[in-house]
Structure 1
Amino acid sequence: MRVLLPHLADLRIEQIAAKGKGVRIAASCPWTTTCCPGCGQPSGRVHSRYERSLSDAALGGREAVICLRVRRFFCDNRQCPRKTFAEQVPGLTVPHARRTLLLRRWLEAVALALGGRPGARLTRRLAAEVSRMTLLRLIMAMPLPKAPACSVLGVDDFAFRKGSNYGSVVVDMDSHRPIDLLPDRLSDTFAAWLREHPGVEVICRDRAGGYAEGGRLGAPEAIQVADRWHLLFNLTTAVDRVVRAHRMCLREQPAQDTVAQPAPPSSVAGQGRRAEQTRQRHAEVHALWGKGVGTTAICRALNLDHKTVLRYVRAATAEELLTQPTRRESMLDQHVGYLAQRWQEGCTNAAWLTQELRQRGYRGSERTVRRLLHTWRDNVTPPSATPVSTPKPRQVTGWIIRPADKRSEQEQADLAQILDRCQTLKAVDQLVSDFAGMLRHRQGQHLDTWIANAQTSGITQMQGFADGLLKDYDAVRNGLTLDWNSGAVEGAVCRIKAIKRQMYGRANFELLRRRVLLGP
C-alpha cells in the first residue's frame, strides 16, 4: 500500500473502503507533537479533534477521498498570537484546502494545457471531476513567474482580435521560452518593460516601427536584429507587385498571334492633385502604424476603409501606389482560344458566341465579348486559334524568389522565356538573386551596393523596398550578418493562437498570460 500511495507514506492508514464509484481512505497522523506555524515552537497538548475530507488523485480508476482525522493543539508560547492551531501534513495538505497537493498539481496541469471546458471534460475521465470555473480559478491563483534576466530576447505582436487589438510576446532566445506578455504593441510599453529588465544586449524583432522605437528608448545599447523571414516576405511582396504590373509580359505573344486588348486610360503617374493626396495619406497612415496603432484605429482616425488602410500599410513608399495602371485579368481570357477558333470558322456574331461561352462556363457579359470582337475586326492579322498557356503572377513570383536549384526544369525554362521578353523582370530577378545570396550566406557587407543598385534600377517597387531598408538600416544589416532570427518568436505566436482558439477568445489578458507563461 505504501508503494501504491507514496504521498500518504507519513500517515497512519486505518481503513480503505470502496463505496459506489469512489474509494474512502481513513487515516490519521502518527506523530505526538507538531510545531506551531506562527512561532515554530513544538506542542503536544491536544485542544480538540475533527475529521477533514480531502479529494485525492484517482485510485484504481475511482475517485479517492481521504478522511483525515486532524488534531488541534494549544500553542504554549505566550508571545505567539496563535492560541491554537491545526496540524498539517507536509506535502499533502495546506490550510482550508479541499484537495491534496498532488490532485491540485494534476488539475493545474490539465487547466494550463486545455483550459476550462476541455479540461473539465478530461477530469471526468480521470475520476477527479471538477467544473470549468474551478480550473480557471486554479490558473488565476497560480503566481506569475518572474521574468529571468536574458541577454538576447525576441519580440513580436499577436492579435487579441485581428485588425483591432494586439498584444506583444517577449521570448528568451536562448531557451526559446516566452518570458512575458504585454497588453499592447506600443513603443512606450515595450520601452518601459526594457527599463524594468536591464541587461538586454540583442533584440530580435520584425520591421515594425513600434518595437524599433521601443528598443531604442528602453535599451539604447542593445543591438537590434531584423528578422530574415520578414525581410524575404517584404521582398516577395515587392516582387509580386512588379510581376502584376507586367502581367502582359507573362504571355507568349508572337506578332502573328497577338490578340488586341483595350488599353488602360493613359495618365502620368505621380502627378496631380490625387497623387499629392495619396502621398499625404500614406504619410499619415505610416505615422500611426509606426507608433503601433492598429488598422481599425487608423480607419477611425483617418475615416478610411479598412482595405484602403491595408493597401497603404503594405506600401513602403507612396510611389508604389502611383504606378501606371494596367489591364486586369478578365473572365474572358481563358476563352480567347475558343473564340479565335470560332472566328476563323466564320462565326462573328457576339450574341451567338456569348451563348456558346455560357455553356463553357463563361459568366461575364456580352458587352465584353463584343468589345473583343471589335478589336479583332480592326486588325489586319486575324487572331490565332491556338490557346496560349499563361502562368499566374503568383507562380512567376515564386519562381523568381526560389533559388535556381529549387525550380523544376519546366519552371526554369518558362521563367527564362519570360525574362527574355521583359527586361524589367530580368532586372528584378537579378536583384532578388543578389539579395537572397546576402540573406542565405550572411553577407551583410554587400547591403550598401545592393541598395544602390535597387535605387538606380528605375523599378518603383524595388526602389520603395530599398528605401524601407534604409529607414531600418542597422537592424537590417545585423539581420543579414548575425545568426540571430525570430524563428522562436514566431513559434510562440503560433502557440498563443492555439491557446486562444481553445478559449474561443473569451478569456481576459491575465488568464491568457498565465496559460502562456506557466503552460507546458
Structure 2
Amino acid sequence: MLGARARSNSAACPNCGDAAGRVHGRYVRKLRDVAIGGVGVVIRLTVRRFRCQNPACRAVTFAEQIPGLTSPHSRFTPLLLDEFDAIGLALAGRAGARLSAKLGIAVSRHTLLRRVRALPESQSATGPQVLGIDDFALRKGHVYGTVLIDMTTRRPVELLPERTAGPVAAWLLAHPGVEVICRDRAGAYAEAARLGAPDALQVADRWHLWNNLCEAVEKTVARHRGCLREPVAGPAAPATLDLAATEATTSPLAIRTIERHRMVHELLDEGATLTKIQRKLGWDAKTVRRYADADNPSQLMGGVTRPSVLDDFKPYVIERWNAGITDAVVITAELRDLGYEATDRTVRRFLAPYRKQAAKIPAVPVPPTVRDATGWLTRHPEGLSADEQQRLKGILARCPELDDLSGLVTDFAKMMVNLDGHLLNAWITEVRIAELPDLIPFTRGIVQDHAAVTAGLTLPFSSGAVEGHVNRIKMLKRQMYGRAKFDLLRKRVIYARRSRTRPITRSAPEPLLVSAEPDSAVRPTRL
C-alpha cells in the first residue's frame, strides 16, 4: 500500500470551473492501481474537500480530483480500468477473471462484463466508403446476424441481430456515404443495398463465385464417376462394362430417376409451368427445375453406378483372386480384418463377370474420388503433382464432357485472376453451347446478379476481410456461448480489433504533482 497526497494549493470546481483554495475538510480514499511485480497495489490517497467561493454555483463543497489518477466515485485508477477493459474484450468474464488474478489485479467476472458493456459508442454519422457485408450464425441453422466491415480500415463498424434486408437497409439509410458494397450473392443483402444505398456500386465476392462454381463442378464429376476409373485391359473389360451399364439402368435409383423425368416432361408437354408442376407433384422447386433442364435421364444419372462399399478393398480382392483364392466367403472373412463391414454378396457380385471367364483380373489403380477429381479440375495446374496431372489427363481423354468442363473452369479462373469481367457474357455463352446441365443453374444465378458479378470480376474489391471477421466471431461466440447476450458479443466484436486504449499518463502540471510516500504502518500485500 502506498500513501499519497496532492501538493497543489487549489482545485477547480467541477460545476463552475472557478479555482477554490479554501479547504473544507479531508478524508482518505483508497484506489487500486496496476500491479508491481505481480503484487497488487493500493494507493491510500489523502483527498481534500474544498469550499466553492462562487455564490452563483450550486456546489457548496467538492472533492479534488487528480488527473490521471482518480475519477469520481471510482475505486480503481484509470490505468487499471484500461487493463480491465483490455482483459474483458480479449477473454470476457471467467477466463478474464482467472488471468487478472494471476497478474495481481484480481477482479470479479461481473465487473469485467460491466466494463465491456459500458464502453462508449463511437459510431460515425456517415458510413464507410467501402462497406463489406456478410452473415454469421448465432445459432447455426436457426438464428443468424449480420456483420458490417469498413473495408478501408478492415474493422467492424456494426453488428445486427438479423440477416434480413430491413435492418441492413435501415442502417444504410442512417449512415449515408457508402459508395461500394462488397457482399456475397445472397438476395437479402442485394435488396438491402438497393433500398438503403441505391447509388452504391454492389460487388459480388470472388471467393463465393469460385465456391459456387466448384459446387457445380463437383456435381458434374459425380455424374461422370464412371469416367474416373481407368479402362481394364484384357478379355474381362467388356463383361465389366456391360455389368456397370446394366446396373446403371436397372438399379432402383435409376428406375426412379427415369420415371420422375418422364412425369415432369409429360406435364411440360401439356403446357404446365414449373410452379404448377411443383404444386401437383409436391416436390421442391429446385428438384423440378433440375428434371426440367435435363433432356434425358442419363444427364441426371451420368450412366454410372453409385460408389460401392467395396471400392477401397478391390485391390486386395483382385490380389487374392489372382493368387487362386476364388471363394467369396473366404475373401470376405479376410476383408473383415481390414475393416470391411458388408456381406459376401457384394464380393460375389464383383467377381461374377471374371468367374464366368475363369480369367485373372488385371490390376488397376484405385480410381480417384469425386472430391479428388474436383480438386484437380479447380486447382492451379502448378499445384498438381506429376501423377495427378497424368491421371487428370487420362480422365479428360475418356470423358468429353469433363474435358469441356475443364476448359470452362480454366477460362473462368483466368477471368477472375486477371479481372477480365468484360469476358463474362462470352463465358456464359460457352457454357450454354457446351450444354452442361450442372453449370446452367450457376449461369442463371450470374445473369440474375449480372451487374454485381461483373463488378466483382473487374474491380479489386473483395470480401476477404469480412470472412476473417466471421471466423473471429465464431471464436468469440464459443468463449461466451450460453452465458452472454447479443449486446456483449457486439461490443467485443466492434472493439476487439481497435487499437488499445491510450494509456493514461501520470504526468500533470507542477502544482498537481502527486507525492507518493510509503505507508510505514502497512506492508504491501498480494490481493
- What TM-score do you get using the length of structure 1 for normalisation? 0.83
CA contact (8 A) 1:282 1:317 kept: no
The match for 2:159 among 153, 177, 181 is 181
Q: Find the counterpart in structure 1 of residue 309 from structure 2.
A: 331
Deviation per residue, 1:442-501 (Å, 9 max, x gap): 001110011111122221111111111111111110000000001111111122222222
Deviation per residue, 1:401-434 (Å, 9 max, x gap): 1122332222111111100000110010011011
The match for 2:211 among 228, 233, 254 is 233
CA contact (8 A) 2:274 2:289 kept: no
Deviation per residue, 1:43-66 (Å, 9 max, x gap): 222222211110011134321111
CA distance 1:129–1:343, change in 2 (3 Å): closer
The 1-side partners of 2:403 and 2:146 are apart by 40
The match for 1:394 among 371, 380, 398 is 371
Taking the TM superposition and a 5 Å limit, the aligned residue runs for 1:402-417 are: 402-417=379-394
Give the letter for the 1:155 counterpart.
I
The match for 1:372 among 338, 350, 359 is 350
Q: Find the counterpart in structure 2 of residue 104 from structure 1.
A: 81
The 2-side partners of 1:453 and 1:207 are apart by 22
Deviation per residue, 1:195-254 (Å, 9 max, x gap): 011011100011111111111111011101011111111111110111111111000124
What SS class does the counterpart of residue 167 from structure 1 fall into?
A: strand
The match for 1:95 among 72, 92, 109 is 72
Q: Find the counterpart in structure 1 of residue 503 from structure 2.
A: none
Q: Find the counterpart in structure 2 of residue 430 from structure 1.
A: 407
CA distance 1:493–1:360, change in 2 (3 Å): closer
CA distance 1:345–1:93, change in 2 (3 Å): closer
Give the letter for the 2:410 counterpart.
S
CA contact (8 A) 1:155 1:204 kept: yes
Greater mean alpha carbon deviation, residues 119-128 or residues 74-83? 74-83
Q: Does residue 178 of structure 2 align to residue 200 of structure 1?
A: yes
CA contact (8 A) 1:145 1:518 kept: no
The match for 1:272 among 263, 267, 286 is 263
What SS class does the counterpart of residue 473 from structure 2 fall into?
A: helix
What SS class does the counterpart of residue 331 from structure 1 fall into?
A: coil
The match for 1:222 among 200, 204, 218 is 200
How far off its partner does 1:111 sit? 1.3
How far off its partner does 1:347 sit? 5.3
Q: Does residue 416 of structure 2 align to residue 439 of structure 1?
A: yes
Taking the TM superposition and a 5 Å limit, the aligned residue runs for 1:28-107 are: 28-107=5-84
The 1-side partners of 2:266 and 2:207 are apart by 32
Aligned residues: 472
How far off its partner does 1:29 sit? 1.6
Greater mean alpha carbon deviation, residues 42-51 or residues 381-390? 381-390
Q: Find the counterpart in structure 1 of residue 150 from structure 2.
A: 172
Give the letter for the 2:312 counterpart.
Q
What SS class does the counterpart of residue 363 from structure 1 fall into?
A: coil
How far off its partner does 1:373 sit? 4.1
The 1-side partners of 2:109 and 2:317 are apart by 64
What SS class does the counterpart of residue 461 from structure 1 fall into?
A: coil
Gaps of 5+ in 2: 498-527
Q: Find the counterpart in structure 2 of residue 8 from structure 1.
A: none
Q: Does residue 232 of structure 2 align to residue 249 of structure 1?
A: no
What SS class does the counterpart of residue 85 from structure 1 fall into?
A: strand
How far off its partner does 1:334 sit? 3.1
CA contact (8 A) 1:113 1:519 kept: yes
Q: Find the counterpart in structure 2 of residue 152 from structure 1.
A: 130
The 2-side partners of 1:109 and 1:451 are apart by 51
CA contact (8 A) 1:55 1:103 kept: yes
How far off its partner does 1:324 sit? 2.2
The match for 2:478 among 490, 493, 501 is 501
How far off its partner does 1:100 sit? 0.7
Give the letter for the 1:151 counterpart.
Q
How far off its partner does 1:340 sit? 4.5
What SS class does the counterpart of residue 324 from structure 1 fall into?
A: helix
CA distance 1:270–1:201, change in 2 (3 Å): farther
CA contact (8 A) 2:40 2:105 kept: yes
CA distance 1:280–1:118, change in 2 (3 Å): farther
Which structure exhibits the higher relative contact order, with contacts defined as CA atoms closer than 8 Å and separated by 6 or more residues?
Answer: 2
The 1-side partners of 2:276 and 2:99 are apart by 53
The match for 2:332 among 354, 362, 370 is 354
How far off its partner does 1:118 sit? 1.8
What SS class does the counterpart of residue 300 from structure 2 fall into?
A: coil
Deviation per residue, 1:22-57 (Å, 9 max, x gap): xx1111121222221111122222222211110011
CA contact (8 A) 1:26 1:68 kept: yes
The 2-side partners of 1:155 and 1:164 are apart by 19
Percent identity over the alignment is 45
The 2-side partners of 1:413 and 1:62 are apart by 67
Q: CA RMSD in A?
A: 3.0
Gaps of 5+ in 1: 1-23, 285-302
Deviation per residue, 1:130-151 (Å, 9 max, x gap): 1111111111111122146411
Q: Does residue 354 of structure 2 align to residue 363 of structure 1?
A: no
CA contact (8 A) 1:34 1:87 kept: yes
CA distance 1:507–1:216, change in 2 (3 Å): same
What SS class does the counterpart of residue 434 from structure 2 fall into?
A: coil
CA contact (8 A) 2:354 2:361 kept: no
Q: Find the counterpart in structure 2 of residue 18 from structure 1.
A: none
Q: Does residue 504 of structure 2 align to residue 513 of structure 1?
A: no
Deviation per residue, 1:234-292 (Å, 9 max, x gap): 111110111111111000124634333322334436442699999669999xxxxxxxx
How far off its partner does 1:342 sit? 5.0
